[in-house]
Amino acid sequence: MNTRRYLAILLISALVIGVLGLGGCASTPPPSTVDPNTPASVPADQTTANPLAIDDPLSPLNRRIYRFNALTDRYVLLPAVHIYDTVAPEPVRDGIGNFFSNLGEINTFANSVLQLKAKSAGVTASRFVINSTVGLAGFFDPATHIGLNQRDEDFGQTLGHYGAGTGPYLVLPFFGPSNMRDAGGIAVDQGLFYVIDPLQINGNLPASAAYNVFFALNKREQTNFRYYQTGSPFEYLLVRMVYQNYRALKVAQ
């Protein structure tokens, strides 16, 4: 077990260094959505101000993964979610949603601390304690009822907070729209979760499998996006634009 944790930490460190390396010019933070091919003569405020200029050198690969995700969604995920919706009544699904949301507070807390956001860290810690106890292991969310609204921080945002650029746009298999920075962020957040192992399921194959299946079902159920629902031939471009700008807003928060 120790060896595996050690390996996980090594992997995380490598990723962190790699991602920070990508945003190497951290002293002059690159705008999150700027094409590096923008001519130097364009004033900086205008480059940062172009939300449509998105760096996507991997577009051919990204578009293939986008389609792969759409097909996976249609033939695997949505049918599975449909069964989940049929079998589990809404209060149960809400409880499961709360449960995963509560576990997510660990990453939000860690990243709030990393960004020195005291209030966010405090609220998140309080939420976690209250919901894990009074909320019966997170299946209920009494914290929100007493006015402790949920925050949302992840390692991608932490990197952005310290000025790391997004790097090229990426579409990840299963995870969907992302970018180099946020993909690294996901790996770090997952790694942290693995290291902490709050459910003590590391090494327990059936438990890990069950965790991952329910995690995926819950995540998909709560995501309102449907592939090709925009009806637009340009959906890939639109999703890319919305994702990159949405993340820029989250980093600014």
Q: How far is the CB of 89 from other proteins (least distance, A)?
A: 12
Closest CB to other proteins among residues 15, 178: 178
Closest CB to other proteins among residues 38, 208: 38
Q: How far is the CB of 232 from other proteins (least distance, A)?
A: 5
Return d(Cα 32, Cα 168) in angstroms, integer. Answer: 10
Closest CB to other proteins among residues 52, 207: 52
Report the 3 state secondary structure along the chain: CHHHHHHHHHHHHHHHHHHHHHCCCCCCCCCCCCCCCCCCCCCHHHHHCCCCCCCCCCHHHHHHHHHHHHHHHHHHHHHHHHHHHHHCCHHHHHHHHHHHHHHHHHHHHHHHHHCCCHHHHHHHHHHHHHHHHCCCCCCCCHHHHCCCCCCCCCHHHHHHHCCCCCCCEEEECCCEEEEHHHHHHHHHHHHHHHHHCCCCCCCCHHHHHHHHHHHHHHHHHHCCCCCCCCCCCCHHHHHHHHHHHHHHHHHHC
Q: How far is the CB of 91 from other proteins (least distance, A)?
A: 12
Number of residues assigned to the chain: 253
Per the listing, tokens 């945003």 go with 23
Q: How far is the CB of 150 from other proteins (least distance, A)?
A: 7
Closest CB to other proteins among residues 115, 178: 115
Q: How far is the CB of 250 from other proteins (least distance, A)?
A: 8
Closest CB to other proteins among residues 148, 192: 148
Q: How far is the CB of 49 from other proteins (least distance, A)?
A: 4
Applying CB under 8 A, the residues found at the interface with other proteins are 48-53, 59-60, 63-64, 67, 70, 78-79, 81-82, 85, 117, 119-120, 123, 149-152, 221, 223-238, 241-242, 245-246, 248-250, 252-253
Closest CB to other proteins among residues 45, 200: 45
